[in-house]
C-alpha cells in the first residue's frame, strides 16, 4: 500500500470535483460579481488539485 499514490488519487478526485462544481456554477450563473469570484476560486483550486494529484501519481514508483 503506497500512501503517496493514495494521496495523489485523493487530490485528483478533489480536483475533478472542484472542476465539476465550477462547471455547475458556470451553467447557472447570471453574471454577478459573486458568481464570477466563486468561478475563479473553485476553478483555480480544482486545477491545482487535479494537476498536483496527477503528477504525484505519475512520479511515485511502485514498491512491492
pTM of this structure: 0.84
pLDDT tens figures, 28-58: 887 777 778 889 999 999 999 999 999 998 9
Confidence band of 1 (pLDDT split at 50, 70, 90): low
Q: Is 64 helix (H, G, I), strand (E, B) or coil?
A: coil
Domain ranges of the chain: 11-59
Amino acid at each position: 500500500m503506497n500512501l503517496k499514490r493514495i494521496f495523489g488519487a485523493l487530490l485528483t478526485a478533489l480536483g475533478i470535483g472542484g472542476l465539476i462544481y465550477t462547471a455547475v456554477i458556470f451553467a447557472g450563473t447570471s453574471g454577478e460579481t459573486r458568481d464570477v469570484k466563486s468561478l475563479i476560486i473553485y476553478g483555480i483550486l480544482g486545477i491545482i488539485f487535479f494537476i498536483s494529484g496527477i503528477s504525484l501519481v505519475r512520479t511515485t514508483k511502485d514498491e512491492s
